[in-house]
Amino acid sequence: MNTKMLIGGVLGGIVYFLLGWLVYGILLAGTMEGNCMRAHDAILPLWIFTGNVFTGLMLSYVFSRMTTVNTLGSGAMAGAVIGLLSAIGIDCLMYGTTTVVTEPMHILMDAAITAVLWAIVGGVIGWWLGRGAGGARGVASA
Amino acid sequence: MNAKMLVGGLLGGVAFFLLGYLLYGLLFTDAMASCTSCQRPMEEINFLLLGVGNVFMGLTISYIFSRWMSVSTFMAGATAGATIGLLMSIGFTSISYATSTVYSAATCMLYSILIEVIMWAVVGGIIAWWLGRK
C-alpha cells in the first residue's frame, strides 16, 4: 500500500460518507427501518465514517492492482460492478440469516443504490489513481 | 464476464457456503449468538438466499481477480483475498454497528472480521487457482 492509494481510499471514503448521508440519511430516511435498525437519533456517525473510509481503501487497493482502472469512467464502471455484486451478496446473507433486512424488495433497492454510490466513489478513486505520471501501480508493493 | 470467471465465482460461492457453515454454523455459533438479538434461529435461516448471497460474494472476488495484474496462484489469491476481506469486513461491520443492533459490542465485530478474513483468504486462493489454470 502506498501514499497515493491511501489518499485515494480516504478521498473515496469521504465521498461515500457524504453520498450515504444524502441518500440514506435524507432522501430515503425511514425507508429501510426494521427490527434491528437503530433509530435515527441513535445512529453512530463516527462508525459510519470509519466504515466508509475502509470501503474506500478496499476499492483503492483493488483498483491500484486492476489492469484497466485509471480513469473516472473505468473506476465508475468497476465500482458499479463490484458494488452491485457485493451488495446483492451481503444483503442476501443478511436477509437469510438475520432480521436486519426484513423485506426482499430492500435487497434490490439497496443493491441498486450501492451500485450507484460505488460507481461515483469508484469514479473518484479511479480519477485520483490515474492522475500524473506513474500512477499508484508504479510503486505498488503489497 | 466470461465462463471461466463465472465458474470461478460459483466455486468461490460453494467454498464460502461451506466455510460459513463450518465457522458461523459450528465453531463460532455460541460466540456469535451471544453477540446479537438479530440472528435468525437455525430453523428460520433461509438457505436459498444464503446460497445466492455466497455465490454473489464469490462472483465479486472472481470479477476482481479476472482483471487483476498478477493473481494466478493459490497463495497470491489468498493474500489478496485476505487483504480485500479485511478492508471490506471492517467497512461493513463498522457501518452495521453504526446503523443497526446486529453487533452488540466491538468484540463481536472482531469475531466477524476474523472469520471473514479467513473465509476471504481461502476463497480468494481457490478462485485464483482456478483462474490461473492453463
Interface of A with B (CB under 8 A): 35-38, 43-48, 50-55, 57-58, 61-62, 65-69, 78, 81-82, 85-86, 88-100, 137, 142
- The secondary structure of B92-105 as a DSSP string is HHHHHHHHBSS-SS
Distance CA A49, CA B91 (A): 9
Instruction: From B24, B20, B8, select the one nearest B64 (Cα to Cα).
Output: B8
Which set of grid coordinates corresponds to residue A12?
473515496
DSSP annotation of A22 reads: I
Q: B88 pLDDT band (50/70/90 cuts)?
A: very high
Q: Which chain A residues are Cβ-neighbours of B48 within 8 angstroms?
A: 96
Q: What is the mean pLDDT of residues B29-49?
A: 84
Q: What's the domain count of chain B?
A: 1
Its pTM surpasses 0.80: yes
* DSSP state for residue A40 in the 8-state scheme: G
Distance CA B131, CA A29 (A): 42
For chain A, what is the domain count? 1
Q: What angle do CA A141, A118, B2 make, to 5 degrees?
A: 75
pLDDT, residue B39, reads 83
d(CA A87, CA A111): 5
Nearest to B100 among A38, A66, A68 (CB): A38
pLDDT one digit per residue (tens) for chain A, 142 residues: 689 999 999 999 999 999 999 998 888 877 766 678 888 888 899 999 999 999 999 999 999 998 788 899 999 999 999 999 999 999 999 999 888 887 888 899 999 999 999 999 999 999 999 987 554 444 443 3
Contact B90 A50 (CB under 8 A): yes
B72 lies within 8 A of chain A by CB = no
Residue A121's domain spans which residues?
3-138
> For position A92, what pLDDT does the model report?
95
Distance CA B88, CA A27 (A): 25
Q: Which domain holds residue B107?
A: 3-132
